[in-house]
A and B are shown apart, each in its own frame.
Chain A
């Protein structure tokens, strides 16, 4: 094929197409975002305006809500591409499929994870979080939300053509270590102790998750072709 693009150009094309599709369907990024903001806002209403209580509970509130919100977007990663045959083309492209899948997850994280990250920072104000803690919250959510997107991709691939609740059941138990490390990071920051070790663990999980979960997701998609 004379006008064939190289792998990098195709990766950019996939990313651009996915971002364009998400922009056209606002529900992809608005649903988790609105869910996150509503749930976080409910806590001060339910617990009352006790600053110290809200501030103490804020890491857990933000992390659990971010985890649940990210689950809402899991189904949208591959479902449409599977239905309309786009995924077939990945398998016959002659390119490393796990890289193409990783690009799709990256696109998904950009439209679901990044807005959640920004929303979490805004929520820290509602929950009376100290400014010193916001950096730890931001870094832990940055690392954690990307790992959650990779886990979500695996769940989405395993539940292709099936109920969305199945992917949630698959993803939730696997995301517990990320939740524990993420909230431990912020709790340590609140207690003025060194939280870098938790961030290193989260970084290590993400480093392993990028190749590991991308490959596992490819294999999970292949199951639907058998």
Chain B
């Protein structure tokens, strides 16, 4: 099975302090990797370092076997990132937020409604997002996963602020996208039931 992304001795620093030290892992196509660690263990830093958003990064990141710096454009166009900040505009409706995602994407209305239906927010499409709960906002972000088709999804703490139903939902979405050949790198405080390779950073909660 081909490896989508691979790190070799990845080291990340924040204000001279080493956050991640010599990390080696690979994400095969269609498979998942889960990064587990407590607050401040470097989960978010790792995701942002892979995306080139952490300046103090050493080691090598390979995308389809090539150094990421050589294929940066191809990597960015194949990769979806969702951080703690979801980029959901509070003054826009659910439909408008899906219509105007933060990445270059044009989707038909039917596709947006179908994605919203799958995550259980189709009846909220015309509701302004500021009137929604944190869980419902998170579901808008989940619907965004379904309207696009990337090779690799980097999602920071997708299971946080979701009830059991929401957790099951995201696992089924990941499974659906895995079947399409997409891979996931997700983070969390504790192990989820997601079928994935696990990476432990720092002192974990479990």
Contact = CB atoms under 8 A, between A and B. Distances in A.
Given A84-B85, A88-B53, A88-B87, A93 B96 contact: no
A7 B53 contact: no
Contacts of A91: 51-53
Contacts, number: 90
A20 B90 CA distance: 12
A3 B148 CA distance: 7
A2 B79 CA distance: 13
Interface in A79-93: 80, 83-86, 88-89, 91-93
A92 B92 contact: no
Contact of A226 (B55, B148, B149): B55
Interface string A206-226: 000000000000000000011
B203 interface: no
What is the interface residue range for chain A against chain B?
20 to 34
A222 B197 CA distance: 33
Contacts of B107: 3
- B interface bracket (residues with beta carbon within 8 Å of A): 35 or more
B150 interface: yes
A131 interface: no
A163 to B, nearest CB: 21
Interface string B87-110: 111011000100010111111000
A6 B77 CA distance: 11
A32 B75 CA distance: 42
Contacts of B106: 3, 5, 9, 13
Contacts of B74: 94
Contact of B91 (A21, A85, A226): A21
B81 A84 contact: no
B89 A21 contact: yes
Given A20-B92, A85-B84, A94-B72, A6 B53 contact: no
A21 B89 CA distance: 8
B81 A88 contact: yes
Interface of A: 1-7, 9-10, 13, 16-17, 20-21, 24-25, 80, 83-86, 88-89, 91-95, 225-226
23 contacts: A1-B105, A1-B149, A2-B149, A3-B107, A3-B147, A5-B104, A9-B106, A17-B92, A20-B92, A20-B96, A21-B89, A21-B91, A21-B92, A24-B91, A25-B91, A84-B86, A84-B89, A85-B83, A86-B102, A93-B103, A93-B104, A94-B72, A226-B55
Interface of B: 51-55, 72-79, 81, 83-89, 91-92, 96, 100, 102-107, 147-150
